[in-house]
Amino acid sequence: MENQSKEFILQLEKSERLRQSIRAVSLEMESATLLMQSSLLLVHQSRPVPEVLEKAKVQIDVLKGLFHRLAEILQECRGQYYRYHGDWRSETQMVVSKLAFMHWLETGNLLMHKEAEEKLGLDSSEFFLDIEDYLIGICFMSNELPRYVVNRVIAEDYDFTIKVVKFLRDLYVAFRMLNLRNDFLRKKFDGIKYDLTKVEEVYYNVKIRGLITSGDSSQDLGMQT
């Protein structure tokens, strides 16, 4: 009984030490993401997008460094990625949501799972971006869009509403295809539908007042969905 206890103490302490290192890293992740978020906020106040992105991008390297540290910590316990996953997953979801928002501001496209992994330097088969974390991050990103589209209209950028409606419709269709079974994800996915409805209302308000200038855009929008 005593020998067994001694062995357990060693193992439980090792596990506790790992957990503490992981938590220290995820605290730093949270902090870097908040800094990124503070920069991104200015996009709602019509600051030029490139300027806003430049500042926010500084944190990507910080985050890359943190994920590298996390990967190193996890090498001490091969095959136990999911044992400690709960200690960094919500922070990772936040990181994905900010990266996806930045990517969309820059390219108008959805940040792919592979691209998110590349940005964070997650290239090994041992340490990767869990698909559910990626999907939840994308849902959080979608939640930013209604506010953003309202502020674009305030800044008299009416045509922009079309882009957002298109993007969210595609995203909604893509998520629906996934036929999600996970309850948490399903609930977050319902949020996309809510965001889409709000964005469509903004577009309808703009459209009905004849504020859309680009001739064929509305038909275009009508056809695709």
- Could you give the CA distance from residue 193 to residue 187 in angstroms, rounded to a whole number? 10
Q: Considering beta carbons, is residue 60 or 149 the nearer one to a copy of itself?
A: 149
Minimal distance, residue 65 CB to a copy of itself, in Å? 20
Minimal distance, residue 141 CB to a copy of itself, in Å? 14
Q: Considering beta carbons, is residue 64 or 132 the nearer one to a copy of itself?
A: 132
Size of the site for a copy of itself (CB under 8 A): 71
* DSSP letter assigned to residue 216: T
CA dihedral 18, 20, 25, 29 (to 10 degrees): 130
Q: Which of 90, 140, 151, 163 binds a copy of itself (CB under 8 A)?
A: 151
Regarding 197 and contact with a copy of itself (CB under 8 A), the answer is yes
Q: Considering beta carbons, is residue 45 or 214 the nearer one to a copy of itself?
A: 45
Residue owning tokens 């409805």: 197
List the one residue out of 165, 156, 142, 145 whose CA is nearest residue 221: 165
- Could you give the CA distance from residue 190 to residue 5 in angstroms, rounded to a whole number? 48
Regarding 8 and contact with a copy of itself (CB under 8 A), the answer is yes
Map residues 72-101 to x or -, x wherever contact with a copy of itself holds by CB under 8 A: ------xxxxxx-x----------------
Segment 24-63, which members bind a copy of itself (CB under 8 A)? 31, 34, 37-38, 41-42, 44-46
Which strand (E) or helix (H) includes residue 52? helix 49-75
Regarding 169 and contact with a copy of itself (CB under 8 A), the answer is yes
Q: Considering beta carbons, is residue 67 or 158 the nearer one to a copy of itself?
A: 158
- CA angle centred on 135, ends 44 and 172, rounded to 5°: 70
Segment 100-129, which members bind a copy of itself (CB under 8 A)? 110, 112-114, 126
Minimal distance, residue 64 CB to a copy of itself, in Å? 22
Minimal distance, residue 132 CB to a copy of itself, in Å? 8
Q: Considering beta carbons, is residue 95 or 146 the nearer one to a copy of itself?
A: 146
* DSSP letter assigned to residue 181: -
Residue owning tokens 């506010």: 147
DSSP E strand boundaries for the chain: none
- Could you give the CA distance from residue 53 to residue 187 in angstroms, rounded to a whole number? 30
CA dihedral 148, 194, 111, 159 (to 10 degrees): -40
Q: Considering beta carbons, is residue 126 or 159 the nearer one to a copy of itself?
A: 126
